[in-house]
Homo-oligomer: A and B are copies of this chain.
Amino acid sequence: MSFKYNRLDKDNAAVLLVDHQAGLLSLVRDIEPDKFKNNVLALADLAKYFSLPTILTTSFETGPNGPLVPELKEIFPDAPYIARPGQINAWDNEEFVSAVRATGKKQLIVAGVVTEVCVSFPVLSALEEGYEVFVITDASGTFNPMTRDAAWDRMSQAGAQLMTWFGTACELHRDWRNDIEGLGALFSNHIPDYRNLITSYTALTSED
């Protein structure tokens, strides 16, 4: 019954961004659009900041689901990019699974649209294969809070850990002494309240 705290480890974690496509985003109604956009980009920025191997995948991006949001392409120009020809569960796509395995990481950080499908399905598949899976709940969206609650329960009961982008960044960083400026900038760009703290602090301390 003893609990083992397997922390997120920046040397052992990869990020999977599943189906953040321009059309599908119009389905997301459990998070306000301004906040959701911010959360997804914050997750992307932290993946880049910690140099985590990141894999992009889309579903039918030339159809009504629409293309991957351009910001993600720009942040990860060289990431594996799997435009799935039809598999709903990204884990059913061999190229995707190969890309995951090629990272050599055992911790998977997953976010996507919509939560109960594009996130849940590969999360459950990865758990079955023994990966430690961390769901970035606030960078994953779905139709409404009821839909989300059901999806969270299913993933949690299967052993996935429910995280947020901010908690993930902090758990990966471990110690501010590793780098203050970089992570501070990341937080300042994605947390207006934090930015305000910095602004006030800087104004006061630079006055002297």
Contact = CB atoms under 8 A, between A and B. Distances in A.
Interface of A: 1-5, 7, 22-23, 25-27, 29, 31-38, 59-67, 69-70, 85-89, 92, 114, 116-117, 120-121, 124-125, 127-128, 130, 137-138, 143-144, 146-147, 149-154, 156-159, 161-164, 166-167, 170-171, 173-178, 191-201, 203-205, 207-208
A27 B170 contact: no
A124 B87 CA distance: 33
B22 A167 contact: no
A33 to B, nearest CB: 4
A153 B153 CA distance: 9
A64 to B, nearest CB: 4
A10 B82 CA distance: 27
A67 B171 CA distance: 23
A18 to B, nearest CB: 13
A21 B46 CA distance: 25
B26 A197 contact: yes
Give chain A's interface secondary structure class.
helix
Given A5-B124, A34-B32, A167-B117, A200 B66 contact: yes
A68 B151 CA distance: 29
Given A60-B176, A197-B64, A25 B166 contact: no
Given A70-B199, A137-B150, A88 B121 contact: no
Contacts of A138: 146-147, 150
A125 B2 CA distance: 12
B170 A88 contact: yes
Given A88-B174, A154-B162, A156-B157, A25 B67 contact: no
Contact of A170 (B5, B69, B117, B161): B117
9 contacts: A3-B128, A4-B128, A27-B193, A32-B35, A37-B192, A61-B203, A116-B167, A121-B170, A208-B208
Contacts of A197: 22-23, 26, 64-66, 200
